[in-house]
Amino acid sequence: MRPQEYKQLVQQNTPPRPIVRNTVWAFLVGGLICTVGQVILDISRIFEPSKTGSAAVTLAVMILIGALLTGFGVYDEIAELAGAGAAVPITGFANTVTAAAMEYRREGYLQGMGSKMLIIAGPVIVYGILSGFIVALIKSLILGVL
Amino acid sequence: MFSIQYLIAFLVGGAICAVAQLVLDTTKCTPAHVLVATVSIGAIMQGLGLYEPFQDFAGAGALVPVSGFGSSITKGMLAEAKRLGWYGLFTGAFEITGLGLVAAIVFSSVISLFRKPLK
Secondary structure (3-state) at A125:
helix
Q: Touching check for A54 and chain B: CB below 8 Å?
A: no
Nearest Cα residue to B52 out of B30, B84, B78, B26: B78
User: Which of A58, A88, A117, A140 is the best residue to mutate to test the B interface, defined by the most B CB atoms within 10 Å of its own CB?
Assistant: A88
Q: What is the DSSP secondary structure assignment for residue A118, as one 8-state letter?
A: T
Phi, psi (rounded to 5 degrees) for A2? -75, 150
pLDDT per residue as tens digits for the range B24-69: 999 999 999 999 999 999 999 999 999 999 999 999 999 999 999 9
pLDDT in tens, B62-71: 999 999 999 9
Cite the DSSP H helix spans in A14-121.
19-47, 51-71, 74-82, 84-87, 90-104, 115-116
> Predicted ipTM?
0.92
Does A43 contact B at CB distance below 8 Å? no
d(CA A61, CA B47): 26
Q: Choose between A53 and A136: higher pLDDT.
A: A136
pLDDT digits (tens, 9 = 90+) for A111-122: 999 999 999 999
Q: Which of B18, B46, B69 sits opposite A27 (nearest CB)?
A: B18
> d(Cα B91, Cα A146) in Å, to the nearest integer?
14
Distance, in Å, from the CA atom of A60 to the CA atom of A37, rounded to the nearest integer, reads: 10
Q: Apex CA B35: angle with CA A74 and CA A94, to 5°? A: 35
Cβ of B115 under 8 Å from any chain A Cβ? yes
> How many Cα atoms sit within 13 Å of B40 on the Cβ side?
12
